[in-house]
Structures are given as structure tokens and as C-alpha cells.
């Protein structure tokens, strides 16, 4: 059986930089308030017209494919992770396949939000190991900025997120002990409504009791209305404390699971790439695992939370900066809405 290796990686972020001070034009906030709670200093926003979740993915994919010494024509499967697709359907996978002039290959879309890239990587790993495919493009891309509530009411969510894309090309290797060693995936839907965007959805209103913010939404209401925009129910909802409490438990747990599976310990990790949800979460996880600053890579300060794109963007940036070298033990981990979480342990 083959092992899977990351043969090429790339990322793309929009040119538009929005600092914390820039956001004060739209809402009551401050640089100090945002940094204290999230660690974020700035983020990137895509152009409102012309720059899409798919177009950003194309740019990241071009770099990853070139670095893998292959071509778009040789890619034989695409897995695209996002929570902000260009259309409700079809998914971005086929749009990427079209834009890059690929053959009539399979395209799979993963809607696992913040853990989407780790889930997508795990799926690709299985296809490579069984020999079904030889060049799999795995993408995480997000355009959050078009659907955030840029008001004081929505600041707890809107200040966190940014736009961008990351991609990797997975290929088989027979080099013993190299590549993806194992992946580990979990979910718990008990608190699904703690971090959610309820509309559009066929069951909008079904979980009305779970929507404490919007008591005026009529049971069974399914169409977007002017009132939903005015009262905020059309925008994402997050119970920040609930997410934080769950994340700081599940992050170390799933990382420990990966290490135990491979008879390794936290001190063996050369580089941990956590999903860039909140710098405070990453710092808590780092302290829990007893890792040094040189063993954890964070870039949320520059890009905010790019959900499915955050892990591949951070992985690529760490590699470009020489922080990941041949033979290093690299751990990827993510936690997000659902709740879903996962990890991947890689011998570079």
C-alpha cells in the first residue's frame, strides 16, 4: 500500500488589507478590543466583484500544481473544502475543474467548515493509499466578507473572519515512514446551533428554541426577508464561549490521538499547524501540549480566521519560511462548527 505525500502546496490571499482600525468605520470596536479577544491585527477581503471562492482557489492551486512538478491535466481528482461556495449548488469543485481546464475527473465538495481541509486531506489520503488516484488536488478556500454583518451588532463574529485560499497536491510515495502517517476525524452535533448560519435552510425555524437571538422568526419560515437582514438572523451566529470551551479540550485530545497512534509524544512534534480560529485557543493548546514557540505556527494575526483555508495557508507559509524541513514531524489540527474536529500527522 502506498503512503500519501504532499508534493506541492500554495496559497493565495486577496490584496485588500483591512486592519482593526479600518473596521471602526463600520462598528463600535477598537484595535485593542479585537487583539485582546482574538489576536487578530488585520485580515484580507476579496474584491466584491470578480474575486470569488473559486477564483482564489485557482490561484492557490496553480502554485501547488507547479511545485508538485505536474500539470492541471494530470490531476485526477479534486476535493474542495469551503463553507462559502460561489453557488448554493453546484459546488466549487466542478467550477475549479472547469476554470483550470482539467479532464472530466471527479470533484468532491466538503462542507465541514473549519475542519474541512483536514477532512478533505483524510479522504484524499485514502484514495492515494488504495491506488485509485495518483494526483489529488485538495483545496480550502473562503470568501467570508460578502456575508458578514459589519455592524456593532455583528462585531463578535465579523471581526474574526477573512478571505483566502490554500491548496496541496497529494501524490503516492513508497518511501518508508514518509508522508501522512494517520488522520483522525470526529464530530458531535449536540451543540450544532452554537456556531451556525441558519438561513438559507429547509429546516429554518425547526430549531427555533436553539435561536435565542431571534424570537420573532416564525416557525417554518424558509425565505430570506428584509426583516432577517434587519434583525441579524440572516447572518452567522456564534456562541464564542461555548466554542472556546469545546475547542481547548478537543484540539489537544485529537492531537494526542494522532501521536498515540504512531507511538510518539508531543515533544516529537517539529511543527504544529492549528486551524487559525483564535490566537488565544492556539496559545492554550500550545501550553497544554508543552510546546515551544518554534513548534507552533500562527498567522491569524495577518489573515484572521479563513476557516477551511486556514490550515493550508498556514502550512504553506510555514514551509515557505523554512520552518518545515525534510524529515520533520508536522501535525495539522482543526476544530469548528458542527462541532467537527480532526488531525493529521505527517512525516515531511
> Annotated catalytic sites, by residue?
114, 275, 305
Reported residue count of the chain is 348
What DSSP element (H or E) covers 346? strand 340-347
- What whole-number distance in Å separates Cα of residue 28 and Cα of residue 41? 16
- For cell 489540527, what's the residue? 333
User: Which value, in Å, is the radius of gyration of the alpha carbons in the chain?
Assistant: 20
The set of cell numbers assigned to 194 is 452554537
DSSP 2: P
Largest CA distance in the chain: 60
Residues 319, 68 contacting (CB under 8 angstroms): no
Handedness of CA 222, 228, 233, 236 (dihedral sign): positive
Q: 205 — phi, psi (to 5°)?
A: 100, -25
- What whole-number distance in Å separates Cα of residue 177 and Cα of residue 252? 24
- What whole-number distance in Å separates Cα of residue 307 and Cα of residue 275? 7
Amino acid at each position: 500500500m502506498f503512503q500519501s505525500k504532499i508534493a506541492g502546496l500554495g496559497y493565495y490571499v486577496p490584496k485588500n488589507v483591512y486592519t482593526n482600525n479600518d473596521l471602526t468605520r463600520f462598528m463600535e470596536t477598537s484595535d485593542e478590543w479585537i487583539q485582546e479577544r482574538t489576536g487578530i491585527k488585520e485580515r484580507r477581503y476579496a474584491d466584491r466583484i470578480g474575486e470569488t471562492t473559486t477564483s482564489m482557489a485557482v490561484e492557490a492551486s496553480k502554485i501547488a500544481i507547479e511545485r508538485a512538478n505536474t500539470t492541471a491535466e494530470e490531476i485526477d481528482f479534486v476535493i474542495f473544502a469551503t463553507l462559502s461556495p460561489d453557488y448554493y449548488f453546484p459546488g466549487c469543485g466542478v467550477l475549479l475543474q472547469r476554470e483550470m481546464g482539467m479532464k472530466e475527473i471527479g470533484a468532491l465538495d466538503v462542507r465541514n467548515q473549519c475542519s474541512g481541509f483536514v477532512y478533505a486531506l483524510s479522504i484524499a489520503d485514502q484514495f492515494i493509499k488504495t491506488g485509485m488516484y495518483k494526483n489529488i488536488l485538495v483545496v480550502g478556500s473562503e470568501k467570508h466578507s460578502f456575508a458578514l454583518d459589519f455592524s456593532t451588532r455583528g462585531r463578535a463574529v465579523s471581526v474574526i473572519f477573512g478571505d483566502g485560499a490554500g491548496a496541496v497536491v497529494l501524490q503516492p510515495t513508497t518511501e518508508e515512514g514518509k508522508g501522512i502517517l494517520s488522520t483522525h476525524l470526529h464530530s458531535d452535533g449536540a451543540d450544532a446551533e452554537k456556531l451556525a448560519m441558519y438561513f438559507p435552510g429547509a429546516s429554518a425555524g425547526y430549531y427555533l428554541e436553539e435561536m435565542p437571538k431571534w424570537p420573532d422568526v416564525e416557525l417554518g419560515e424558509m425565505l430570506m426577508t428584509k426583516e432577517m437582514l434587519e434583525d441579524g438572523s440572516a447572518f452567522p451566529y456564534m456562541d464564542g464561549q461555548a466554542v472556546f470551551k469545546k475547542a481547548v479540550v478537543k484540539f489537544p485530545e485529537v492531537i494526542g490521538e494522532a501521536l498515540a497512534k504512531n507511538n510518539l509524544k508531543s515533544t516529537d512534534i517539529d511543527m504544529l499547524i492549528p486551524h487559525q480560529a483564535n490566537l488565544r485557543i492556539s496559545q492554550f493548546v500550545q501550553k497544554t501540549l508543552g510546546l515551544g514557540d518554534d513548534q507552533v505556527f500562527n498567522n491569524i494575526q495577518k489573515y484572521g480566521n479563513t476557516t477551511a483555508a486556514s490550515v493550508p495557508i498556514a502550512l504553506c507559509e510555514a514551509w515557505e519560511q523554512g520552518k518545515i524541513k525534510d524529515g520533520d514531524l508536522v501535525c495539522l489540527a482543526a476544530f469548528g462548527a458542527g462541532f467537527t474536529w480532526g488531525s493529521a500527522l505527517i512525516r515531511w
